[in-house]
Amino acid sequence: MALLNLDEEVRLTSSNSDRERVAELANLYSLILALDYLERAHVRDAVSPQQYHPACTRLLNQYKTILHLVGSPALDEFMKQYRMDCTAARHRLQVGVPATVEHHHGDSPHSGNGESHPKTSNGQPSSNANPNGNETAQWVAETTQNFITFMDALKLKLRAKDQLHPLLTELMQSYARFSRSNDWAGRPKILNWLIELNQLRGASDEISDEQARQMLFDIEHAYAEFFRSLSSSTSPSSSSSPAPAPPSSTTTTAAAATATTDHHRS
């Protein structure tokens, strides 16, 4: 019987590939811990929304990259196996977007009608800041285009996670720039579908045709609500006149061009 040498280093791996996998799992472990600390710091107001948003976005992107390297382990299984009590990080990874996008509030990076308000060196709003400025037309055009792009993707039978998730993330981010989106019925539906797509394990995993049909229905209703809200907020007589019909995919370019032209004229 061979004696155990207590001075000999215990090797966790026996090959280079195993060693690399263990290193990537360690990176995943540390990333989840870092995200959990960031989430808790954000809740305590220890970091500002302007600091939190890019840091959280970077960690979420790194998480997606590491998943490809380690073979996309299930998040719950991984946290259970390594006894990780990181509920804040778990929720953020399941949602897939920063809390400033999930829960819009006045101190988020984009407040008011959706534009970033410039500040002076002492943190006060700059005299050039205009919460109802010309940039609003640009945000409307971008959000409109994101709505139509995503709806067209569903109509073209795109069903995979890597096809739909980036488009819906971009839509949610532009949609959440509007402070009024907190009151829109479409916001929780868009967020729920974003979580649904984010929880698909593999990039090639697909939603069912039934899910796609319901998703298209919800997005179309959110799109119509978005335009009704814009009409009622910009027209004094909107209560007595019907809201304009949202542009179709054939008019997306024209709408964006018109908004840009109005911006330059102003």
Token digits of residue 158: 């795109």
User: Per-residue pLDDT averaged across 227-248, rounded?
Assistant: 57
pLDDT of res. 183: 86
| Separation CA 63–CA 27 (nearest Å) | 9
Q: Does pLDDT of 74 surpass 80?
A: yes
Counting Cβ atoms within 10 Å, is residue 41 exposed (0-12), middle (13-18) or buried (19+)?
Answer: middle
pLDDT of res. 245: 53
135-235+243-265 has CATH 1.20.120.1130 classification:
yes
- The winner for highest mean pLDDT among 12-16, 49-53, 101-105, 108-112 is 49-53
Instruction: Name the β-bridge partners of 115.
Output: 111
Best CA proximity match to 212, nearest among 159, 165, 164, 171: 159
Q: Residue type for 77, please? A: E
| Separation CA 184–CA 181 (nearest Å) | 5
The CA-CA-CA angle for residues 42, 106, 219, to 5°, reads 95
**What confidence category does residue 261 fall into, taking pLDDT thresholds of 50, 70 and 90?**
very low
Best CA proximity match to 105, nearest among 181, 168, 31: 181
Poorest-pLDDT segment among 37-41, 154-158, 182-186, 235-239: 235-239
Best CA proximity match to 245, nearest among 226, 257, 227: 227
| Separation CA 90–CA 10 (nearest Å) | 32
- The winner for highest mean pLDDT among 72-76, 106-110, 251-255 is 72-76
Q: Does pLDDT of 259 surpass 50?
A: no
The CA-CA-CA angle for residues 244, 250, 252, to 5°, reads 65
Q: Residue type for 29, please? A: Y
User: What is the per-residue DSSP string for 45-80?
Assistant: TSS-HHHHHHHHHHHHHHHHHHHHHHT---HHHHHH
Are 75 and 29 a contacting pair, CB within 8 Å? no
Domain edges within the chain: 18-102, 135-235+243-265
Determine the CATH number of domain 18-102. 1.20.1440.200
45 torsion bin: left (phi>0), alpha (psi -120 to 50), beta (else): left
Token digits of residue 266: 């102003």
